[in-house]
Amino acid sequence: MTAPIITERSVIGMFYERLQQNTASSFIDAIATTPFESDQDSENYAWLGMVPQMAEKRGEKKFSQLRATEWEIKNVEYQGGITLPKKHILYDKTTQVQTRVNELADRTTAHWWSLVAPLIVSGESSVCYDGQYFFDVDHSEGGSGAQSNSISADISAYPVSNHGTTTAPSAGEMVHAIMDGVQKMLGFKDDRGEYVNEDMNEFIVLVAPSLLMASLSALRASSIDGGDTNVIFEQDSFRFRIQASPRLSSWTAKFALFSTQGTQRPIVRQQRKPNNAAPGYSVDGMLMETLWLDSEHCKKHDECLVSVETERAAAYGDWKKACLVTLV
């Protein structure tokens, strides 16, 4: 039986379906906001302070002003495209066309991480909305007091049976270091002096590949090192997910904790909405254009073209939802 001709519409459907699947499983969506819809080259954001805590009503109702900080995020244009041989479109028995279209969607999703990872790596030297470095020891907002989301973990001082090094810590040392980061994040206060992470119990631990084994052992083994009890494994109050990336390879002796809960996220994303007057198809914030079987290009070159483009950007969000832990 001859394989059915793949239509232009079906390719668009393949791409959109894959994007939806990727969004449901991508870890980047856990630490970054759903992309804000942008309609211009850049967007100005007003970072409002926190809502005050409930207080006993005495006399007239009280209304508090919210502290405001503004910052700008500029969109950048990005594009990707593939060629599809005409013969595969006409006789694609091995689903090569769908595979390539799926990979194009995968690249589109993975591109977010290529924007976010450099922000995280440079977090100790790049400022966020409060004018401090994203990972810094002296954040301060209103009545919060000085706060640090960049801490040092002295692994030699931990009460564990086996000790490693800062670049190759034991599982027991990783358990203590991870929990030090959690304890630090639980104590963060907002500009009203109120604790903002009291109900936080879900985290992503971002590590370089060199710390992956120690991190997984810290989370998955019930008994670690010389028989020490793994408190992370034994408890069910907190949930952790390890995410390793070669883009973090410079972090030979550090890792970061990110909260996956709450309306505020550590990273902000924005994506420009395609202009309705532009040729092509708008697919989940992406503009897709095709030159298909009836195009002059295909008639001349025996190939079809599929391209996607967008304008997007990533920036720092709420530093209180993240903590950098450096092993010393």
pLDDT above 50 (res 142):
yes
pLDDT above 80 (res 18):
yes
Whole-number Å distance between alpha carbons of 231 and 105: 40
DSSP-derived 3-state class of residue 188: coil
pLDDT above 90 (res 186):
yes
Q: How confident is the model at residue 327 (pLDDT cuts 50, 70, 90)?
A: very high
Percent of the chain with pLDDT over 90: 56
CA distances 96 to 93, 243, 273, 288, 297, Å, are: 8, 30, 30, 19, 21
H-type alpha helices, the chain: 8-25, 28-31, 86-90, 96-121, 171-186, 212-220, 231-234, 296-301
Enter the DSSP assignment of 250.
T
Amino acid identity at 307? S
Domain 142-264+318-327: give its CATH code.
3.30.2320.10
Tens digits of per-residue pLDDT, 76-123? 999 999 999 998 888 877 688 889 999 999 999 999 999 999 999 999
pTM over 0.75: yes
Residue scoring higher pLDDT (304 or 49): 304
Residue scoring higher pLDDT (48 or 235): 235
pLDDT above 60 (res 48):
no
Average pLDDT over residues 200-211: 96
| Structure confidence at residue 36 (pLDDT) | 85
> Where, residue-wise, is CATH 3.30.2320.10 in the chain?
142-264+318-327
How many Cβ atoms are within 10 Å of 322's Cβ, its own excluded? 28
Q: How confident is the model at residue 56 (pLDDT cuts 50, 70, 90)?
A: low
Whole-number Å distance between alpha carbons of 325 and 136: 11
